[in-house]
Amino acid sequence: MEQKKIRPLAVVTGASSGIGYELARQFVQNGFDVLIAAEDDGITEAARSLVGGGRVESVKVDLARYEGVEALYAKIQSLGRPVDAIAINAGVGVGGDFARQTRLEDELNLISLNVTSSVHLAKRVSKDMAQRRSGRILFTSSIAALMPAPFEAVYGASKAFIQSFSESLRNELADVGVTVTALLPGPTETNFFHRAGMDDTRVGQQEKDDAGEVARQGFEALMAGKDKVVAGSLKNRAMAAAVQVIPDTASAQLHRKLSEPGSGTKNK
């Protein structure tokens, strides 16, 4: 009797909607069992809707808290299976003038989720992968990592951290066969800008890239072992290329025009 083939296991955070949900869909459609995580109740419905030939499980955890990351890692361990791939995607934005508009509590929560939880989860999972000499890690960065980000100052800095961290970790793990890939999307059609309080900005109101297409490009780059991929439209790739050669003052001004509160109304 032929033994049933064991499917590889992937973990995706921030997977109740947006890019995270679409990344989970990519894994399911490409032969993975998937564990998805998010802090909201939508994660349960997301798991139900991810139909495919494999198993999909969900866990509701607040990754902005130390205990939340530990709870996710405990769930991973309880499966008794190696993690073949992980997409560390959970993140949040805060829009507005840092000194005069935004709340410190929101920005500290952003750092806890975007930066601290990413390091925490990567620490747990990468150690297991290094010991096994096998695994793939995908970090969701942003083209905001490539430029100063006025009116998203802490968010942009958090993604610059993730980009540097991803590149460094990739170098460290190269000798044990573990790959690390950074996904750099531009403005994408998700709930991100609404949650960040940026509905009235130019970037909040403009046409955005499709989350499914961004996720597909990220998944393909991960499976190919690439160091990074600037995902989305040709416009996004052109912007990413441009901001790496123009002065920071110019790229900061470009970001300001897109993200300044009220800029969407001004440009109607």
Please identify every residue annotated as catalytic.
155
* Alpha-helix residue ranges (DSSP H) falling in 2-152: 18-29, 42-49, 66-78, 104-110, 117-132
Owner of token pair 């205990």: 67
Residue 116 carries which DSSP code? I
Calculate ∠ Cα 195-146-116, nearest 5°.
55
Residue 83 carries which DSSP code? -
Produce one character per residue of 184-205: b if its CB has 16 or more CB atoms within 10 Å, e if not: bbbbbbbebbeebbbebbbbbb
Q: Facing residues of 135 across strands?
A: 178
Contact (Cβ atoms closer than 8 angstroms) between residue 159 and residue 141: yes
Contact (Cβ atoms closer than 8 angstroms) between residue 170 and residue 227: yes
38: Cβ–Cβ under 8 A, 6 or more apart, which residues?
A: 13, 14, 15, 16, 20, 46, 58, 60, 61, 90
235: Cβ–Cβ under 8 A, 6 or more apart, which residues?
A: 186
